[in-house]
Structure 1
Amino acid sequence: MRVQTEEWQRFIPGIRMYKGKKTFFYNGETLVEHRYDIDNYLIHNRKERQTWEVIIVLPGVEVIPSLTFMQCGKLETVIMADTVIRIQDYAFFCCKRLVFVRLSRNLELIRQIAFSDCESLTSIFIPPSCREIVWEAFQDTKLIIFNVPQHTQLHENVFSRTPLIKASTFMLHDESGQYYNTNEANQWVKDMNQGEEFELHRACSSINPLIEIIYGIVRRKGLHSLKEKNEIGMTPSDYLEANPFIENQLIERVMMRRYVLEMMGETV
């Protein structure tokens, strides 16, 4: 599902069906006043809250407050306008069915436990504007793709207890169970696709993925390059499919058709 920026001008806040999904168009209001009110809030709003499948954060919203969408049981998709610069703590905590998140291109900060326990979330693409992600922000998710800039400060346990950290070599053990060497693991995840051999991975995971650049690399490397795996077994195709900043999900098919026709001497 994609929402084009120009469409948002006609959207108004509220809850309604959009493209077959129960959608909450969010205008930045505070839904939960205090952390200690969350149980009472959920009791009084549980029936409606549990029907939301899509959250669209409208232009003009700069901050998603603490606890705003915590425990939305059917939430699958979150799309943020590029005005959002801050996601507060517990904002999307325990959204068990959340699988797709399109962050703001201008996001600067993700607070602690913001997406923790979103157990269906397998990929997240952090924009270059993000300067800090606080502890346990993505803990207890199913993260395999965690695309994060080198300059972003990652606090302790940002992606602990995920498949991603289990694939690293920085797992340690003590009497209380497993934990990991935070500094080494954080740097490992940042470095994962930095080698020259992963040029195509970087292009496919950009927040400004240009088809001509991607296609140029594909053509130069050859058709098989879309299947080359990085350190955790992810291919450029995997990144293309998961990248929330790519509007056309058929981009790979278009590129491959063009590539094959050119190799056959056809004009595209």
Structure 2
Amino acid sequence: MRVQTEEWRRFIPGSRMYKDKKTFFYNGEILLDGENDEFLIYDWEERQTWEVVIVLPGVEVIPPDTFQFCRNVKTVIMADSVRRIERSAFGYCKILEFVKLSRTVEFIGDSAFWYCESLSSIFIPPLCSQIDRDAFRGCKELIILSVPRQTQLGECVIGRTKLLRASPYGIPLHDGLYDNITNSNVNFWIKNIHGNDDRFALHRACSSFNPIAQVIYEIVKRQGLMSFQRKNRIGITPTQYLEVNPFAEDIDQCSVVKRYVLEMMGEAV
């Protein structure tokens, strides 16, 4: 589900059908009393009907446990006002598949997305300075985690994930935990999967927070169309990055290939 910028202004808070999905439009309210384990506004049954969560403009913080155990939520889309995602905010959203983070998010808390078992990719914007421990632990399908090199990663951020299993560093301990030395190595490896090797230039461009069509095209001109299908160290191609990158909405492989072919044929682009 994509949300166009001009649509934001007409959204109002609450739960209703939107584009054939039961959608919760969140305005920053405290939904859960974590200390007493009590739902304050929407009861358990209502929370289980939500398929999409859209965080409305103006919301800066998603409080702890807000959407924890919303087991039918598949899609989360955040307005660019969100700066903080607190502890366990989306924990145990077991069929969550797609998350578009705020472009201005600065902090992702302890266990924020833990045990979101269907989440296979997440793209972290460059303003995010810190991701706390266990943020994605238990996201067993997670294989793509695009993280800026300046982002500080806590302990066991990717415990019990496909990405950890693809890591060359150590054997994880019980429940996806690993020791401090392994943690340091894993966190460094996460940020440097593509390194500076020109073979992975297209991977870097397609997994970028700000993919640029011209940059992608220039790399393809230099390396050829087959570069879209080149696998990196974890078996992912640039095509796969581009397909799931929520910040690449206006770029697709077909348009790049068409431009390339027309230019090779001497046609005007």
What is the CA distance between 1:169 and its match in structure 2?
1.2
Identity %: 55
Kindly tell me: are residues 168 and 58 of structure 1, through their superposed partners in 2, closer, same or farther at Cα, counting changes over 3 Å? same
Q: In the aligned structure 2, how far is the partner of 1:190 from the partner of 1:87?
A: 21
The equivalent residue for 2:151 is 152
SS in 2 for 1:94: coil
Distance of aligned partners of 1:61 and 1:67 in 2 relative to their CA distance in 1, 3 Å threshold: same
Q: Matches of 2:63 and 2:137 in 1, distance apart?
A: 19
Distance 1:46 1:9, change over 3 A: same
**Matches of 2:220 and 2:55, distance apart in 1:** 35
Q: Distance in 1 between matches of 2:238 and 2:160?
A: 25
Residue 93 of structure 1 corresponds to 91
Do residues 140 (structure 1) and 142 (structure 2) align?
no
User: Partner of 1:36: helix, strand, or coil?
Assistant: coil
1:98: Cα distance to partner? 0.2
Question: Are 1:217 and 2:215 matched, yes or no?
Answer: no
- 8 Å CA contact 1:54–1:78 kept in 2: the answer is yes
How far does residue 112 in structure 1 lie from its aligned partner after superposition? 0.5
Q: Report whether the alignment pairs 1:58 with 2:24.
A: no
Please give the secondary structure, in 1, of the residue aligned with 2:39: helix
Which AA in structure 1 matches 2:157? V
Partner of 1:124: 122
Q: Which runs of 5+ in 2 are unaligned?
A: none
- Map 1:1-268 onto structure 2 (within 5 A): 1-33=1-33, 35-38=34-37, 40-41=38-39, 45-141=43-139, 142-172=141-171, 179-180=177-178, 181-195=182-196, 196-248=198-250, 251-268=252-269
Measure the CA separation in 2 of the matches of 1:177 and 1:139. 9
Decide whether aligned partners of structure 1 residues 178 and 207 sit closer, same or farther in structure 2, where only a CA change above 3 A counts.
closer
* Cα-Cα RMSD: 1.8
- Counterpart-to-counterpart distance in 1, 2:177 and 2:72: 31
Paired positions, count:
264
Deviation at 1:178, TM superposition (A): 6.4
Measured in 1, the distance between the counterparts of 2:51 and 2:265 equals 45
Cα distance in 1 for residues equivalent to 2:15 and 2:50 = 8
Residue 172 of structure 1 deviates from its aligned partner by 3.0
Q: Which amino acid aligns with 2:70?
A: C
Deviation at 1:247, TM superposition (A): 1.6
In structure 2, how many angstroms separate the alpha carbons of the residues matched to 1:149 and 1:48?
37
TM-score normalised by length of structure 1: 0.94
Rounded Cα–Cα distance in structure 2 between residues aligned with 1:161 and 1:86: 24
Q: CA deviation at 1:130?
A: 0.5
Q: Name the TM-score, length of structure 2 as normaliser.
A: 0.93
SS at match of 1:69: coil
Shift of the alpha carbon at 1:171? 2.2
Q: Find the aligned partners of 1:207 and 1:138 in 2 and give their Cα distance.
A: 19
The C-alpha deviation readout for 1:38-87, integer Å capped at 9, x for no partner, is 3x429x71211111011110110000001110111110000001110000
Q: Is the 8 A contact 1:56 1:80 kept in 2?
A: yes
Question: What amino acid is the match of 1:157?
Answer: C
Can you give the 5+ residue segments of structure 1 that lack an aligned partner in the other structure? none
**Closer/same/farther in 2, CA of residues 178 and 118 from structure 1, 3 Å limit:** closer
1:185 to partner: Cα distance: 0.5
For the structure 1 residues 209 and 37, does the alpha-carbon distance in structure 2 shift closer, same or farther, using more than 3 Å as the test? Answer: same
